[in-house]
Amino acid sequence: MDPVTTAAIISAVTTAATATASEVAKEVQSDGTWMSAVFENRTNVSFDVSHRVPNHGSWKKTASRVVGLDEFVTSLRSEDSPTDDDVNKKIEEWIQIQVLAQKVGGFFAGWGMQGEGAGVEGLTTFSTSAESNTQIVCLIRKIPGGGYGAGVSLSNQGWLKFDDEEGSNMIDHIKDVHSGLCQYSEGGTVTASLGSFHVQVTAGQSVQFVVTRDGIG
């Protein structure tokens, strides 16, 4: 795959992120108790998405899968682009007519949460069978009394386990254990890393999770 084409696709994902986050936020924040999150995948691997039962709340707008660069390119090749040269030409065409950013919607997952009380919190997990079963667990919180929090924990080989349907142990782990693999914020941006994967979390009423990988883009 042409590195220039790879960079162009990842750049399109980055460009589309602001509009995608805004669209999700508008849809789920019609009520003051709603908060939203967007997961942006800038890597070559795809992730399956699952949601734990939130504490004192309910989910809105979920996605079951987030594609990565490899799956995206494979889908182009299987449709009408059998070679890398054909894929490169297709991407160049989309850039010229300014539609590439519209084609990368599958690189995102957006979701929202509504509280039933003073506070609400819940986990969403992004898992891939590639790269030693890498798992990214994302936490979003509306804090009692006001304010918002968000965090993330990364693992591989499946060592992140949940002790109940809410994943209460993992919620506490993300809030309390801050390390290279696990970060939490109630304002501002933090980053957790595992191997070549890095997840940047920006907390707020609209939370942003951005996963990148060394050597991609």
Closest by CA to 203, choosing from 153, 154, 142, 160, is: 142
CATH (domain of 15): 2.60.270.20
pLDDT number for residue 71: 93
Instruction: Please report the pLDDT score of residue 145 as a whole number.
Output: 81
Number of domains the chain contains: 1
The pLDDT value recorded for residue 81 is 65
The confidence score (pLDDT) of residue 157 equals 66
What's the domain range around 169? Answer: 3-213
Measured CA distances, 18 to 82, 96, 105 (Å): 32, 21, 12
pLDDT at 84: 85
Give me the average pLDDT of each 10-residue run along the chain (217 residues): 86 90 76 81 94 81 88 84 84 93 91 77 88 88 88 81 74 87 94 95 94 89
